[in-house]
Structure 1
């Protein structure tokens, strides 16, 4: 199965982008080649660009607090698994406390590091991080994989609580949705949303169908058009019938 997600607003779009960057960062950080660690470091710089909104931290803290109160209200429900609920509440408390302990602007410790900022300034130039441009960076890349891993982990540590909070918020959002099996006729599916506000749409379908959903949605209507991709990689309208899972998520 393959899952496609569509954010309904800019806030969720930002969180999804940061989640995607974190997955890339984590993958390349745990490799051993200097080129792979270069990608991990460059990805941190991309994170700073996306997370530059000053209100992102406060948005996450407010959302976590709101979710905490909602979850606590479920404690009196006999149909709720108490141990699972307690674990979720512990996760919310843990990431909220860690995020609240972060001071200053997101990534300020990296911005204050002149050496890292010199690398950041060169990486935005195509081919700008060559050894003759950044000899000190070239020397650092010759360190052992363990030393490079420790350094990058240390530089990332001050912004790690932000990504822990994003992980919990997006997990709660995805788990809030109810999945229904629906059917697209002639490659098209429409559903009226009647003004109800959603934050995230998830489409799950069989990967072997080799189709790609093009999604457009607002609070009134959802429209999914399926496309196929040939050898030239140019998407073309798909006119077959498709069964897929649709999940609308909202806190």
Structure 2
């Protein structure tokens, strides 16, 4: 199955972007090549921008506390595994403590590093990090692979509290819904939501289904238009056939 996720608000949109960026940073940092490590650093700069919301840290702390209180209500419930419940509570409490331990603005330690900020500003220019633009960065890229990887880890690690808290919230969000099978007649699907409190919708299709969902939604109305994949096509074209898919509404 291929799953497409559509967030209903800016907070969930930011968390999804951070999840994607943290995964890419980790992937490129594990590699050995100069180009991969450059990609990891540039992606870290994107995390810095995406996490720039002043209230993001407090939003996560408040959401984790709300989830902790919800889980505490299941104490001594015979239908709930005490071991699993204790593990989930411990994970939330550790993540909250790590967020509270982050002082100042998120990523400020990166902004205070003039050398990294010079790379960040040049990286925004096409071809702006060539060796004649940033000779010191050229030198760094030629350092031993383990030295580069250690540097990338030191620059990324202070942001791990944000990564872990986002992962917990998104995991709880995704597990909150149950998929239902639907059919988009002639590639079109509409649903009256009646003021739903959902924070995200997930659309899942079979991996071999040659259809791509275009979602527009708010708390009152959901519209999904399935288009043909943009292969040998000059522009998006609607599917003119029925498309089966699973639809999941998620809410914390």
TM range (shorter): over 0.9
Segment drifting more, 26-35 vs 182-191? 182-191
* Aligned equivalent of 1:240: 241
Say whether residues 1:10 and 2:17 are aligned partners.
Answer: no
Aligned-pair CA distance for 1:88: 1.5
Match runs of 1:1-251 below 5 Å: 1-229=1-229, 230-232=231-233, 234-251=235-252
Q: Considering only aligned residues, what root-mean-square deviation do their CA atoms show, in Å?
A: 1.2
Segment drifting more, 226-235 vs 6-15? 226-235
Aligned-pair CA distance for 1:80: 2.3
Segment drifting more, 147-156 vs 82-91? 82-91
Partners of 2:205 and 2:103 in 1: CA distance: 43
Deviations along 1:111-158, whole A, 9 cap, x unmatched?
Answer: 111111111111111111011111111111111111100001001111
Partners of 1:177 and 1:69 in 2: CA distance: 20
TM-score of the aligned structures, taking structure 2 as reference length: 0.96
SS of structure 2 residue aligned to 1:126: coil
Structure 2: state its 5+ residue gaps.
none
Contact kept in structure 1, 2:76 and 2:82, CA below 8 Å = no
SS of structure 1 residue aligned to 2:198: coil
Structure 1: state its 5+ residue gaps.
none
Partners of 1:191 and 1:83 in 2: CA distance: 40
Partners of 1:153 and 1:244 in 2: CA distance: 40
